[in-house]
Amino acid sequence: MITLNQHEAHAILFDKDGTLFDFGATWNVWASKLLMRLADGQRDRAIAVGQLVGFDLEAGVFAPDSFVIAGTPDELVEVLVPEFPNLSKLTLLTLINEEAAAAPMAEAVPLTPLLGRLARAGLRLGVATNDGEAPAFAHLDAAGVRHHFDFVVGSDSGYGAKPQPGQLLAFCAVFGIDPRHVVMVGDSTHDLIAGRAAGMQTVAVLTGLAPASELEPFADCVLPDIGHLPNWLGLD
């Protein structure tokens, strides 16, 4: 194991979307494809549904305050059900996860060298995401980095979803790590609030849609991206 550095970190938990992967490059494409699929290719219908979930189909971008950004697939299902009464909740969830698993993943920084460096320093690494577990594994597999993570959970893994701390505390329980020695890294207030609730150190990154001013009240540090973590941890 690593010796205690200035931040006394033994492990790092990463959010996935907007943290490991650039949010816009991935999820704007997913939203466009999902909406057009749900609307059977009727663009006007897809545009209208997009407005309900905070996505501008014509511009191809999410509104900064869209609940989808840090939300769970189940939350999206609840909003979509009234719009598609011919589809069950399970069918909608399946469609959402299918499109999510197929979404193009743009790494926020080159992940393989960064994660390898952190792992060689003796840090346990995990992923706690509000995405579904199956898409999360698909995305990590597609990037070729799944093997770097000792723990991967989604909102459907049985530990709840952020901003509640269940996923984070489960990570600590599995490996017997004091939360004070874990760093939660994320791009949204959901990630940081969960980290604070779990008693962890919190690091915000700016590769999602939230500005620094929104994240700073909940973060011990705000970094441009996760590539700056080694320096912050004193590994450089």
- What CATH number corresponds to the domain at position 186? 3.40.50.1000
Domain residues for 86? 24-101
Using the 3D structure, point to which of 101, 136, 154 is the last residue of a domain: 101
pLDDT for the residue 26: 85
221 and 137 in a common domain? yes
pLDDT for the residue 7: 54
> Residue 4 falls within a domain, yes or no?
no
pLDDT for the residue 6: 46
Please identify every stretch of the chain with a pLDDT value under 70, giving residue numbers as ranges: 1-7
Q: How far apart are CA 141 and CA 159, in angstroms?
A: 22
Q: How far apart are CA 13 and CA 172, in angstroms?
A: 10
DSSP 130: S
196 and 143 in a common domain? yes
Q: How far apart are CA 33 and CA 114, in angstroms?
A: 31
113 and 58 in a common domain? no
Whose tokens are 């994320």? That residue is: 186
pLDDT for the residue 199: 97
pLDDT for the residue 52: 96
51 and 78 in a common domain? yes
Structural domain total, the chain? 2
**Burial of 48 (C-beta count, 10 Å sphere; 0-12/13-18/19+):** middle
**Burial track 13-46 (b if 16+ CB lie within 10 A, e otherwise):** bbbbbbbbbbbeebbbbbbbebbbebbeeeeeeb
201 and 110 in a common domain? yes
pLDDT for the residue 88: 96
Tell me the pTM: 0.87
36 and 96 in a common domain? yes
> Residue 1 falls within a domain, yes or no?
no
Q: How far apart are CA 102 and CA 138, in angstroms?
A: 8
pLDDT for the residue 232: 94
